[in-house]
Structure 1
Amino acid sequence: MPFRRETRLVSRRSFLGGAAASTTLVLLHPFAARANAGQAHLRIMETTDIHVHVFPYDYYADKPNDTLGLARTASIIDAIRAEAGNSLLVDNGDFLQGNPMGDFIAHERGMKAGDIHPVIAAMNVLGYDCGTLGNHEFNYGLDFMFNTLNGAKHPYVCANLAKGQLASDPKRDDLFFRPYTILDREIVDGAGEKSPIRVGVIGFVPPQIMLWDSGHLEGKAATRDIVEAAEAWVPAMKEEGADIVIALAHSGIEGKGRSERMENAALYLAGVEGIDAVFTGHQHLVFPGPTSWDGIDGADPVKGTLMGKPAVMAGFWGSHLGLIDLLIEKDGSGWKIVDFTTEARPIYHRDENRAIVADVGDKPDVIAPVQADHEATLAYVRRAVGKTSAPLYSYFALVADDPSVQIVSNAQTWYIRDMLKDGPYKDYPILSAAAPFKAGGRGGADYYTDVPAGDIAIKNVADLYLYPNTVQAVLVTGAQVKNWLEASAGMFNQVSPGERDVPLLNPGFPSYNYDVIDGVTYKIDLSQPARFDGDGELANPDAHRIVDLRFEGEPIDPEQKFIVATNNYRAGGGGKFPEIAADKVIFAAPDTNRDVIVRYILAEGTINPSADANWSFAPVKDATALFETGPKGRTYAAEVKGVTIEDAGDGENGFATFRLIL
């Protein structure tokens, strides 16, 4: 079959002739312009990690946002197709969950057979050729996912997700989806001649979905290592006649060496013989791009290659369109790659004052089928559930005990105490672990919770707790509580006595892994190196950042048993915290953490979110450290408890800089 008509298959001559007759001149990609007879330009476009962001709208802040939205990404697709000789459009997963529209559809409107999910309605307009799954497709259960996917006009592939148990051979796994598809297309070369081409597309999901969504998947599914599955199936794609093989990997880029069942395996996937190009995602980063990738052997963030092969990661929420451009040449009856370029093209830029400037507007064809669900989502998120006597904000959540984290802990403790009050665990002390989700970082200078005193709406609860995690409780010892906090303290860089204005926060440490544990008191000694690395491995055995850890005013007993209220992600091993895994779970709730927060607010009527300052930094003589937060944080700086901070001026990219006096 030919390429989709939307891909605007044109030869150089016919396209340039059309451009000459038009008032708008579109520049062809150099490959399209220079391709000769027997050569052709093939452009493959990627979206990834859309997370239901169809509209350029922040439902948490209840205002438009020019940095996101598939409707904006869609506006550059037409122009980008026009630059190309031939093109395909693929999606790399995590489209089904991630903002209040996703929750509204899942929990309020529902998905019956025959319904079209708004994100699928938007994608259907754009003419995708293929897609794969991300981990968040499983958050609402398998039935919901399949009802959603049934509405898609494009196929989905996933080579490492099996029904029931894994077989002894990957090729004998009973898969939920086709492991790959071969797209039979007709390509136009530089002389305007049409020829058939077979493009193979194979997909992969992070194996960790079995931990993160065990409640939906346990006993029903199993996942295989990404590279292992690729090594089994890619030769079959070649045997079936694929000229070009592209991998859709909802998996990021790490370079610490290959390990079994890696979450971020894209680098090693690129090393599989027969794969020609890799589309990555999951990490919400941009590749090729900035220095996040420096020092990873085999990754070239300038040229945009992994193991020498073209690769791209297109940001998140529609912020970029990933492009891999291939110059291909006839090789007997097939095609081979002779040159390539990669790019992640943004939908916005910042001006000389670092203000956000939209590069494109909305694509009306994408907006139209989603408009009704957008309006319904707005009504849903504006619904009041109670009041707060004080503001809820997260501007200083990484440097001091914080009201936005406190209210989550209060709700979790309230819920677990009630759930366990009559069972065998009724007499165990209950602690609660919660992390700040909106704490700037990659999300930008506005990516913070900021709820004024007064009414709390559902949008505010969703803002406090971004993910549809479910509540779980684990049974751990005092020693494991300490190590939990030691792993969490990897958020901070080391600060030695006498050092001034050291960067405080470790940029590679996600804020959702910075757990604060309520019910104990403790201090963090930044003069010590981190005890654990990002994989939960003991990096500095003699280091102890967590000091003066106490329960009910007394030093914690390493042998005492505690129940810790948390979420299914952490309890299942998410974040690789030492000894925290599914075997510690003693209670798995059917309720999401967000539902629990709503119920807590309804029960209280008016909540008091004031932080209790149960943790702080230990003094480090003559030392200071710098951290960034949103400029609106200046409003609350004087209220921050347990630390001494001072305004240090404006930072980069719209952030404000503060100095922590240690």
Structure 2
Amino acid sequence: MPDGRGQTERQQAFAMQADCAISLRILATTDMHMKVLPYNYYTDQPCDSGGLARTASLIARRRAEVANSLLLDNGDFLQGTPMGDFAATAMTGKPRSLHPAIAAMNAMGYDAAALGNHDFNFGLSFLRQVTARAGFPFLAANLHVLRGPGFRSHVILRRHVTDGQGRQVPLAIGIIGFVPPQTAEWDRDLSGQMRCADILETARNLVPEIRAEGAQIVIALAHSGIGGLSPHARMENAATALAAVPGIDAVIAGHTHEVFPGRDIPAAPGIDPVAGTLAGKPAVMPGFGGSHLGIIDLDLRPDIADDWQVANFRVRTEAVAAGLPNDADVARPVMGAHRETLRRLRRRVGRSMTPLSSYFALIGDDPGLRLVNMAQRWHVRQRLKNTQWASMPVLSASAPFRSGGRGGPQHYTDVPAGALSLRNLADLYFFPNRICAIRLTGAQLAGWLERSASLFGHVQPGDTDQKLIDPAFPCYNFDVVDGVTWQIDLSQPARFSPDGTLIGPEARRVHELRWQGRPVQPHDNFVLATNSYRLASCGLFSPLVSGNEVALKGDELTRDVLRHYVRRRRRIAIEAAPHWSFKPMPGTSVLFVTGPGGMSHLDQVAARHGARIEYAGEDCRGFARLRLFL
């Protein structure tokens, strides 16, 4: 036990050091999704938003303002643009190859990064190959690889930083990373290779160990959204509850592509979008694709235990302005991959007699989505020939991936009639999912569509200008099933929440469900073509997948099948008749938004659906607001 004199000396020393503060700036990116250059590969044009090379210019400016800084990334860097897809193909069998994203990140001098769920999309061995060439550690504390090398849980960066008096002071910074606990389940190829533990349980166990190893502050890189403060097992969006874990000083969130602090995340218990805090700790989520840079400034002061405490902080997200130049040192090492990507994407594969746009996907008009479903049905029928499933009706389900939302008013598919190139097909389907098929009963099919129909708000008959879409419901869960027709009754409340929780047990929105003109009976049997993400048995559709017979386990990538189908058909004509419609509600109107590019398609869409749709102005984000009369 220290004597009283020693304690007094420590207190005096602390008082003398109290003005020796350290200012540390944390710069954070997240969910870059292979947007290394500000280029839209789907339109084959430079774009005004984001890109890692442009973000690097902003990072350089903000680094230059301070004496001490860290640069961290929060995962999902590897997948998301055709450059990432082609890099994965080009690097196969070439273990010494340097991935373009790693080349760019090495040039920027990242200090550490977390892994995200989409970083595993090309397989565990490929991820190992890619990260082995990084000049910084990749972290995933709650990930356990069953065979072979895994990834570090945390790192302690031992740095000499400059204090307020201009002196060099040692500082040990602990960085810990987390992936969503569902990561292994979202891709069945991974479920036999790795396990993911609960984020909060892992943090409670490891953070004290990191402190015991000498970390004086701890920063959590959580590839996880901002959810509730109250913890529960296997939280996907656990950033708020994670911030409440003792010993964590700051949190970088991600995964949901939102901006925090900002208007995307409203105030709630433990969430302060003005101060930029989660559970009272500084926290940031900087959008996606290089849309924003997260900045946390920490003022650290020494305490009696020769440790450092966060005495003050400032948090902000800064939009990456369109006028920023590309950082030449970042852009240069990726230009070869960029040019090769463009060369491949410009290859012609067929011709469409129909414009393929997703501007009106959420009101039942999406010819591109129908083309994906046509290709999936064709592939599954071919694979099921001479099997026990050969005589069973084949349906196909897919969702509109590019339909605005957080991606903004340009985030839509818009392919004119005429020649189809590989870039057009990449626009229609850009996730590396594999085609699967399961057996469904008629009752389960109706339940599948009920889950999709929960995207819509509850509409009161006779009221006008009601909100059509629930903004909390992601459009990638809005499955449209090809091969049947149905109506959606918006006067009924949603049956399910976005995470699949049953919230309206008596609600039934799906009516007039028919196959080949006859009503679908509960005991009917179908084969449903879907994808490996749906088959992962988690999320909105999981109760309808688990336990059902699998007719086809994912054997080919959906986008490869789409390419084969178009090349085989050569000329594509999409049937105009819609799969589904809203049940008429006289005297009732709803509002929804779409990209301004959709205005050139408005009259044709209204005519195909026999609907009255009118322009109602532009919203603050640049979306076109439309009024639909039900």
TM-score by length of 1: 0.90
Instruction: Report the equivalent of 1:515.
Output: 479
Contact 2:27 2:70 in 1 (8 A): yes
SS at match of 2:560: helix
Q: 1:568 aligns with which of 518, 532, 545?
A: 532
Q: What per-residue deviation string (whole Å, max 9, x for no partner) do you get for residues 101-125 of structure 1?
A: 0011112453622111001000001
The one-letter amino acid of 2:587's match is D
Task: Provide structure 1 residue ranges, at least 5 long, that are not aligned to the other structure.
Answer: 1-34, 166-173, 349-357
**Displacement of 1:188 after TM fit?**
0.8
The 5 A counterparts of 1:208-287 are 208-215=182-189, 217-255=190-228, 257-287=230-260
Partner SS for 2:555: strand
SS in 2 for 1:339: strand
SS of 1:145's equivalent?
helix
Shift in Å, 1:61: 1.1
| Residues in 2 aligned to 1:199 and 1:111: alpha-carbon distance in whole angstroms | 37
Deviation at 1:293, TM superposition (A): 2.1
The aligned counterpart of 1:595 is 560
Shift of 1:582: 4.7
Residue 277 (structure 1) shift: 0.6
Residues 461 and 587, structure 2, Cα contact 8 Å, conserved in 1: yes
CA distance in 1, matches of 2:265, 2:366: 32
Choose 626-635 or 583-592, whichever is displaced more. Answer: 583-592
Residues 536 and 542 in structure 2, CA contact (< 8 A), matched pair in contact too: no
Could you list the per-position Cα deviations for residues 105-162 of structure 1 after superposition, in whole angstroms to 9, with x for gaps in the alignment? 1124536221110010000011111111001111111111111001100011111111
Give the conservation status (yes or no) of the 8 Å contact 2:616–2:627. no
- Distance in 2 (CA, whole Å) between partners of 1:300 and 1:410 is 46
TM-aligned CA distance change 1:91 to 1:464, over 3 Å = same
Aligned to 2:180: 206
What do residues 338-364 of structure 1 show as CA deviations (whole Å, max 9, x unaligned)?
Answer: 01111111112xxxxxxxxx2411111
CA distance in 2, matches of 1:573, 1:529: 25
What corresponds to 1:307 in structure 2?
A: 279
SS in 1 for 2:72: strand
Which residue number in structure 2 is paired with residue 340 of structure 1? 313
Per-residue displacement from partner, 1:411-458 (whole Å, max 9, x unpaired)?
A: 100000111111121122111111111111211111111111111111
**RMSD between superposed Cα atoms in Å:** 1.6
Q: What is the count of residue pairs matched by the alignment? A: 609
Equivalent residue number for residue 130 of structure 1:
112
8 Å contact from structure 1 (residues 643, 660) kept in 2: no
Query: How far off is 1:175 after superposition?
Result: 7.7
User: Aligned pair in 2 of structure 1 residues 92, 446: CA closer, same or farther (>3 Å)?
Assistant: same
Q: Which whole-Å CA distance do the structure 1 matches of 2:69 and 2:93 have between them? A: 32
Residue 654 of structure 1 aligns with an amino acid whose one-letter code is G
Q: CA deviation at 1:295?
A: 4.7
Q: Describe how 1:74-153 pairs up with structure 2 within 5 A.
A: 74-110=56-92, 112-153=94-135
CA distance in structure 1 between the partners assigned to 2:576 and 2:22 by the alignment: 62
Cα distance change of structure 1 residues 578 and 209 upon mapping to structure 2, 3 Å threshold: closer
In structure 1, what is the equivalent of residue 627 of structure 2? 659
Mapped pair 1:298 → 2:265: no
- The residue number in structure 2 matching 1:177 is 151
Amino acid at match of 1:59: Y
Displacement of 1:557 in angstroms is: 1.2
Aligned residue for 1:72, secondary structure, equals helix
Q: Which residue of 1 aligns with 2:460?
A: 496
C-alpha distance in structure 1 between counterparts of 2:45 and 2:567, whole Å: 26
Whether the 8 Å contact between 2:22 and 2:300 is mirrored in structure 1 is yes
Any idea what the Cα deviations from partners look like across 1:231-281, whole Å, max 9, x if unmatched? 111110011111000100111111284322121111111111111111010
Q: TM-score, normalised by structure 2?
A: 0.94
Q: Cα offset for 1:203? A: 0.5
Change (3 A) 1:450 1:574: farther
Matches within 5 A, 1:389-538: 389-538=353-502
Query: Runs in 1 of length 4+ with deviation above 6 angstroms?
Result: none
Identity score, percent: 48
Are the counterparts in 2 of residues 112 and 147 from structure 1 also a CA contact under 8 Å?
no
Instruction: Give 3-state SS (helix, strand or coil) of 1:497's partner.
Output: coil
CA–CA distance in structure 2, aligned partners of residues 634 and 337 of structure 1: 51
Secondary structure class of the residue paired with 1:398: helix
Is 2:157 aligned against 1:163? no
Following the alignment from structure 2 to structure 1, what is the Cα–Cα distance between the partners of residues 610 and 163?
Answer: 65
Equivalent position to 1:388, from 352, 375, 379? 352
Give the SS at the match of 1:622.
coil
Offset from partner CA, 1:294-348 (integer Å, 9 cap, x none): 2532111111111110100011011111111100012242211101111111112
Amino acid in the other structure paired with 1:74 = A
Instruction: Provide the C-alpha distance between the structure 2 equivalents of 1:421 and 1:141, rounded to a whole number of angstroms.
Output: 29
Q: For residues 289 and 93 of structure 2, what CA distance do their matches in structure 1 show?
A: 22
Query: Contact 2:18/2:301 (CA < 8 Å) preserved in 1?
Result: no
Asked whether the equivalents of residues 395 and 528 of structure 2 are also in contact (C-alpha less than 8 Å), the reply is yes
Going from structure 1 to structure 2, the CA distance change for 1:229 and 1:178 (only over 3 Å counts) comes to: same
Q: Which residue does the alignment assign to 2:343? A: 379
The match for 1:71 is 53
Q: Within the alignment, does 1:629 sit opposite 2:602 as a pair?
A: no
